[in-house]
Amino acid sequence: MHKSAEIVSKALANELENILNYWIQNSIDEINGGFVGERDHFNNLVPNASKGIILNSRILWSFSAASNHYKSDNYKSYCERSYNYLKTYFKDSKNGGVFWELDAKGNPINTRKQVYAHAFMIYALSEYYLFSKSKEALNWAIELYNFIEKYAHDKVYKGYIEAFNEDWSSIRDMRLSDKDANEAKTMNTHLHILEAYTNLYKVYKNEDLKNNLSELIQLFLTKFLTTEHHLNLFFDEQWNLKSNIISFGHDIETAWLLIEAAKVIEDKKILKETERVAILIADTFLKKGIDIDGGVINEFNSKTKEFDLDKHWWPQAEALVGLRYAFNITGNENYLEKSIEIWNFIDTKILDKTNGEWFWKVDKNGKITADNYKIGMWKAPYHNSRTCIVLNSK
């Protein structure tokens, strides 16, 4: 292994244990079962916080992926705790699929069907199946895949509709979060369907699923990818562009997830194309997405030409993986050198060396913002644990 890559990989191998230990020590809900809904920036438990499907599905993925990585049963009880809670409380037995949000005691309080959430459940369940060999978990993953294909897959214009009501009927407000545009098709959801279907195909060699993956890859290459090698984020049902924002984290995450999708369907022509595109994305990312302090910038508005210079935790993690893939394809050591700079930024600015885990973000001056939670609806061990695992996989 190249020395620069070895430095980052060794640091991340150690960091994976830190992350997992943090979640074991701080996320178990001893009162209501499952995992707590929220801890604030200072690691204080937020009483009676609601429980989100994104946090809980990502916890299942993380402990399952760590178990598969270590080839160990050390995290088995946390995998089972997560799986059983999801099955008992988040599963909609009447309409199929999973609820978006529960109260602290496990009662559904937001029953909408967000396709993004179902993608994460497929991702988590297929990873859990790899560890547990639970046929029940695999069957649930396949069931959720079939729900997405039945209700969300746009047979006319291709791609996937963003969200539905509890009974899978049309919903007016499709937004994933308050910061998102209310549009029918989003790059973010398609990216995580791609990721989920890639993982599912490893354990479910279904021809329709393979075709779905091929279609998703083509959508990224023909609809989402811009001529400047960014990814557009929001579209209406007929693929009219509805956004001006560039997300650097999503750009570099897409670069390597496209390659993984091409690998599992074993299409050499598509793999070559995704590798070519990944390098174009990575090169643009390095030119525009890295600040002088070595951290990954959050966003850029292509209309106003304004940058959001905050540095969120997850784009830093995704950049380490995307740049390693770029190096593996080209052998160009510049990608590794940049990844060392990003790791140094994570190590000095993003790691919480007092309370554990990673801070949500720092501002353009490197100052920590204390108004974001450490554990919550959108803060889980998935991005950072995955980076640690991927960059230490044989």
Q: What is the tens place of the pLDDT at every residue in 200-230?
A: 999 999 999 999 999 999 999 999 999 999 9
> In whole angstroms, what is the distance from residue 176 CA to residue 158 CA?
20
Local confidence band at 177 (pLDDT 50, 70, 90 cut-offs): confident
Task: Determine contact, residues 271/259, Cβ cutoff 8 Å.
Answer: yes
Local confidence band at 3 (pLDDT 50, 70, 90 cut-offs): confident
Coil/strand/helix, residue 186:
strand
Residue 1 confidence (pLDDT): 64
Would the pLDDT of 2 be above 90? no
Would the pLDDT of 40 be above 80? yes
- Mean pLDDT score, 71-83: 98
Indicate the average pLDDT of the chain.
97
CA 297 to centroid of chain Cα atoms: 18
- Mean pLDDT score, 22-47: 98
Task: Determine contact, residues 214/263, Cβ cutoff 8 Å.
Answer: no
Would the pLDDT of 141 be above 80? yes
**Element holding 318 (H helix, E strand):** helix 313-330
Domain ranges of the chain: 3-390
Rounded (10°) CA dihedral 324, 330, 332, 336: 0
Instruction: Give the pLDDT confidence of 89-114 residue by residue, as tens digits.
Output: 999 999 999 999 999 999 999 999 99
- Mean pLDDT score, 150-161: 98
Local confidence band at 35 (pLDDT 50, 70, 90 cut-offs): very high
Tell the CATH topology of 3-390: Glycosyltransferase (1.50.10)
* CA distances to 97, 111, 237 from 60, in Å: 17, 20, 32
Would the pLDDT of 349 be above 70? yes
Residue 278 confidence (pLDDT): 98
- Could you tell me which residue, 181 or 121, shows the higher pLDDT? 121
Residue 4 confidence (pLDDT): 78
- Among residues 110, 112, 124, the alpha carbon closest in space to that of 381 is found at 124
Would the pLDDT of 369 be above 90? no
**In this structure, what token pair is assigned to residue 262?**
């091409």
